[in-house]
Amino acid sequence: MTRTFETIALIGKFKNAEITVPLLKLADYLTTRGNQVLVDEFSASEKIAQSYQTSSLEKIAQQADLAIVIGGDGTMLNIARMLVSYDVPLIGINQGRLGFLTDLSLDNMLASLEEILSGHYDTEERILLSAEVSRAGICRFNNLAFNDVVLHRGVSSGMIEFEVRINGEYMNTLRSDGLIIATPTGSTAYALSAGGPILFPSLNLITLVPVCPHTLSNRPIVIGAEANIEINMRSSVNVGINCDSHAYFDLEQTDHIMIKRHPQTVRLLHPVNHSYYRMLREKLGWSEFP
């Protein structure tokens, strides 16, 4: 079932002057169509602010029927985490390098948007992870991850050690440089570099990918998205945790980490001819012939 999008928010890479021209082009186009346009106050240049209403992300989340994000995957990750609680669907226009999440190009964005806004689009729902760190029974860190939650060593040259449990059942004790807990969206990010599998983005799965494990038999494992992942630290020198390389927290030896699926999903809108496999070929340089 398609939705009607009356109020549309435009959000760009934070304080990036290069997005002024495409933002103005989009705002003019949407206004001509009869849509109400809201521009994120941190994305709007002085020129844009003179012509269009600017708002905070909080107000945009409450008022917008749709958000169009211009930037790279990092921009989309940040906006998705901020808007997920408000169930605002997202469209990504790529101005970065790879663009796994921002799949529309600047060259064809108006034609693609016309198709979507006319009701011809596919909706894709993607999961997020929630990570919580408890110390002495008190929550000390809580954040969301669209790509991945990463346990990592800092400047120390030594490996870190921790115990992993799935749904309360002991899985293993790992000595490594870290552990990546990734969503299907994040399977093409850091997890891919560490040897993890690519997961189709709409799957309800989570992958655990060790980073440089000391034992060669330690391999990535894929589990159901409803699983609860517990990590108990066994060493704490220069060890940290981050969500989407955005929110960081320094860990101590007695810390307990709980990672699970966030109850809400991010909704991405694509043109009807969107193909994930074609995107993989283009972004990863896969060839039709060996």
Domain with CATH 3.40.50.10330 in the chain: 7-127+265-284
- Which residue among the candidates 40, 73, 148, 244 is catalytic per the annotation? 73
Which residue reads 């006319």 in tokens? 118
Both tokens of 125, joined, read 């729902």
Q: What is the pLDDT of residue 13?
A: 80
Three-state SS string across the chain, please?
Answer: CCCCCCEEEEEECCCCHHHHHHHHHHHHHHHHHCCEEEEECCCCCHHHHHHCEEECHHHHHHHCCEEEEEECHHHHHHHHHHHHHHCCCEEEEECCCCCCCCCEECCCHHHHHHHHHCCCEEEEEECCEEEEEEECCEEEEEEEECCEEEEEECCCCCCEEEEEEECCEEEEEEEECEEEEECCHHHHCHHHHCCCCCCCCCCCEEEEEEECCCCCCCCCEEEECCCCEEEEECCCCCEEEEECCCEEEECCCCCEEEEEECCCCEEEEEECCCCHHHHHHHHHCCCCCC
CATH superfamily of 129-261: Probable inorganic polyphosphate/atp-NAD kinase; domain 2 (2.60.200.30)
What's the token pair of residue 284?
């990863």
Please report, in tens digits, the pLDDT of each residue of the chain (290 residues total). 567 899 999 998 876 777 888 899 999 999 999 999 999 988 877 778 788 889 899 999 999 999 999 988 999 999 999 999 999 999 999 986 777 888 898 888 999 999 999 999 999 999 999 999 999 999 999 999 999 999 998 777 788 999 999 999 999 999 999 999 999 999 999 999 999 999 999 999 999 999 999 888 889 999 999 999 999 998 767 899 999 998 999 999 889 999 999 999 999 999 998 999 999 998 888 876 66
254 CB contacts (<8 Å, ≥6 apart)?
A: 135, 136, 233, 236
- Nearest-CA neighbor of 179 among 168, 191, 171? 191
| Rounded Cα distance, 267 and 83, in Å | 10
Q: In this predicted structure, what is the pLDDT of residue 100?
A: 87
d(CA 134, CA 277): 40
Residues 6+ apart with CB under 8 A from 118: none
Burial 183-201 (b: 16+ CB within 10 A, else e): bbbbbbbbbbebebeebeb
Looking only at the bridges linking them, the beta strands covering 129-135 and 256-261 are antiparallel
* pLDDT at residue number 99: 79
- Which pLDDT score is estimated for 28? 94
Question: What pLDDT score was predicted for residue 77?
Answer: 94
Concerning whether 87 is annotated as a catalytic residue, the answer is: no
Where in the sequence of the chain do the CATH 2.60.200.30 domains occur? 129-261
CB of 144 closer than 8 Å to CB of 128: yes
Under a CB-based contact definition with an 8 Å cutoff, are residues 57 and 38 in contact?
no
User: Per CATH, the architecture of 7-127+265-284 is what?
Assistant: 3-Layer(aba) Sandwich (3.40)
Residue 4, pLDDT score = 81
